[in-house]
Amino acid sequence: MLNRKSRTLAAGLAALIMSAVVALAIEAPASAAGGVQLRSIDAPGKCLDVTGVSQDNGAPLQMYDCLGAAQTNQRFYLFYVRGSGTPGRYQIVAQHSGKCLDVAYASTAEGAPIIQYDCQGYTHYNQIWQRYDTGTQYVKYQAWHSGRYLNFNGAYNGAAVVQKLNYTLWYGVVV
């Protein structure tokens, strides 16, 4: 029987090992060193954008005019998720905040908002996006937990980024 101090030490060691396993499951970015702007063919001149350059958990994503290299809330990294059992699964991470694109509250509903939130590792499926190549320069991203696609509600500044059954095609631009 372990005493209290030994149990506390064992619990701390287990937590440290678990965090190392999660860290090893997420590989280096699959995108350019400075991140890429994610653009859709359905919204010319608009980029995926973290509203208000927010660093906060829960900040919504929107479509907004592409503002160039200095606009780090419009630049994203794709981190390949090892251990997911399927190739092509990624976490999409905002350059300015280091937070992941997240389907709010792990909702499976049509039109659920996409927010940024602390990256939780590969077991939080609402932060994992299956990337489907179309055989062109365009891709589509599907939320692993819901089967719905990364999409948005209009081609105007401030249009909410949401998950939908229908998809839009995205492409990355290095700025």
> Where are the domains positioned within the chain?
26-174
Distance between CA atoms of 23 and 120, rounded to whole angstroms? 10
Tally Cβ neighbours within 10 Å of residue 28: 8
The model's pTM: 0.82
Distance between CA atoms of 24 and 136, rounded to whole angstroms? 31
pLDDT score at 121: 86
How would residue 136 be classed by pLDDT, with cut points 50, 70 and 90?
very high
How would residue 33 be classed by pLDDT, with cut points 50, 70 and 90?
low
Mean pLDDT of 162-172: 97
Whole-number mean pLDDT of the chain?
A: 85
Distance of CA 157 to the CA centre of its chain: 20
Mean pLDDT of 162-171: 97
pLDDT score at 40: 97
For the domain made up of 26-174, the CATH class stated in words is mainly beta
Distance between CA atoms of 127 and 112, rounded to whole angstroms? 13
How would residue 84 be classed by pLDDT, with cut points 50, 70 and 90?
low
Tally Cβ neighbours within 10 Å of residue 4: 7
pLDDT at 15 over 80: no
pLDDT at 2 over 70: no
